[in-house]
Structure 1
Amino acid sequence: MDSGQHLLNVVDVEATCWDGEPPTGAVSEIIEIGLTVVDLARGERVGRHRVLVRPTRSTVSSFCSELTGLTQAEVDTGVAFADACRLLATEHEAWARPWASWGDYDRHQFTRQCSTTGTGYPFGRRHTNAKLVFTEAHGLRKRPGMAQALQIAGLPLEGRHHRGEDDAWNIAALVLGLAARGAWPQEPY
């Protein structure tokens, strides 16, 4: 079997956020897409990508900058959301390749933002909630955050937490750990 058939996109997004309610008229928008390509057959991370996205209906708050390290000036250099979705589809085969995220936030954020902007949804239907798989595989009662899951798995937190590129890389390490244990689903659900 071709190893291309064993590739999985692990996605983590950062979005505009506030300490409390958003300012009047502002909505949470994706400002960074982190994507790590995992080769499940070889058991390794084979690609690491970052796409900065320029928000149009909100700005990066100081709270958001403290959390993510991203600034308004930095995301202003990004691409439009529709262009980011096209990039996911063309360069990362997002429509054809199964994908995973830590929880359902990322999937819901893409769904919402695609709907409100009239942008085609870039992913196929084969999504796996890695947080749910990890929780079940480790027999946990509560679903852990990514950083806590890394501690449980005995893995280091690489890079900066709440930076999409780094979080996708770390989530991919958790996915590979689950796959090595035989706990990663063969067909994403």
Structure 2
Amino acid sequence: MAADPHLLNVIDVEATCWQGQPPPGQVSEIIEIGLTVVDLRAGERLAKHRLLVRPARSQVSPFCTELAGLTQAEVDGGLSFREACRQLAARHRAGSIAWASWGDYDRNQFTRQCRHTNTAYPFGDRHTNAKVAFTASYGLRRRPGMAEALTVAGLPLEGRHHRGDDDSWNIAALVLDLAARGHWPAGQY
């Protein structure tokens, strides 16, 4: 059991992307990790963190810069993926604190990239797909994107959409909305 069962790390990643297929030899890689720490018992977002990650097998495209606002020069100054995972485990206790993301993309991207780079997976196995929980709580027929979910919940979009730290902050607001409604998975606080 985690030392702080009422804490939750909300994760959102941005990755290299292209309009259409990636250029030959390039693959989608994490370039930004947003992490918001939530205290489910207190109903508060405690801290927002951002890790920039230097891609090893891809370049930031103009499409990616337009979408996420990240440039190649900016991510060139980032951490290696291995170091980012080490910091998640050491500084943010990612292996012992439950975590959530909006959908399974973030979890799957970490799994793929850790496997490909032979990097230790930084997270524990207590993951919640907040999109699934939100869809069930609101009785929706389809799973909404984060921005649409904020509208459904009557919450503002804070910061820039498609920035890891801002998106994790907004997803954390949705998690707290679900917890306040009594619809966050039991045993997480």
Tell me how far 1:3 sits from its aligned partner.
8.8
**2:5 partner SS:** helix
**2:107 partner SS:** helix
Tell me how far 1:14 sits from its aligned partner.
0.1
Alignment partner, residue 57 of structure 2: 57
How many pairs were matched up?
187
Partners of 1:186 and 1:3 lie apart in 2 by 17
Alignment partner, residue 91 of structure 1: 91
Alignment partner, residue 45 of structure 2: 45
**2:41 partner SS:** coil
**2:142 partner SS:** coil
CA RMSD of aligned residues (A): 1.2
Residue type of the alignment partner of 1:142: R
Partners of 2:67 and 2:100 lie apart in 1 by 23
Alignment partner, residue 71 of structure 2: 71
Residue type of the alignment partner of 2:101: S
Instruction: Give the conservation status (yes or no) of the 8 Å contact 2:4–2:97.
Output: no
Structure 1 stretches of at least 4 aligned residues deviating more than 3 Å after TM superposition? none
* TM-score, scaled to structure 2: 0.97
Partners of 1:148 and 1:3 lie apart in 2 by 34
Residue type of the alignment partner of 2:97: R
Tell me how far 1:143 sits from its aligned partner.
0.2
Distance 1:40 1:3, change over 3 A: farther
Alignment partner, residue 105 of structure 2: 105
Tell me how far 1:144 sits from its aligned partner.
0.2
Residue type of the alignment partner of 1:32: E
Tell me how far 1:5 sits from its aligned partner.
2.4
Instruction: Give the conservation status (yes or no) of the 8 Å contact 1:10–1:37.
Output: yes
Alignment partner, residue 185 of structure 1: 185
Tell me how far 1:186 sits from its aligned partner.
1.8
Instruction: Give the conservation status (yes or no) of the 8 Å contact 2:95–2:123.
Output: yes
Tell me how far 1:121 sits from its aligned partner.
0.3
Partners of 2:3 and 2:174 lie apart in 1 by 20
Partners of 1:163 and 1:115 lie apart in 2 by 25
Partners of 2:116 and 2:27 lie apart in 1 by 10
Tell me the alpha carbon deviations over residues 79-124 of structure 1, each in whole angstroms, 9 at most, x when there is no partner: 0000000000001100000000000000000000000000000000
Tell me the alpha carbon deviations over residues 26-83 of structure 1, each in whole angstroms, 9 at most, x when there is no partner: 0000000000000001000001000000001000000000000000000011000000
Instruction: Give the conservation status (yes or no) of the 8 Å contact 1:3–1:39.
Output: no
Structure 1: which 5+ residue stretches go unaligned? none
Residue type of the alignment partner of 2:123: F
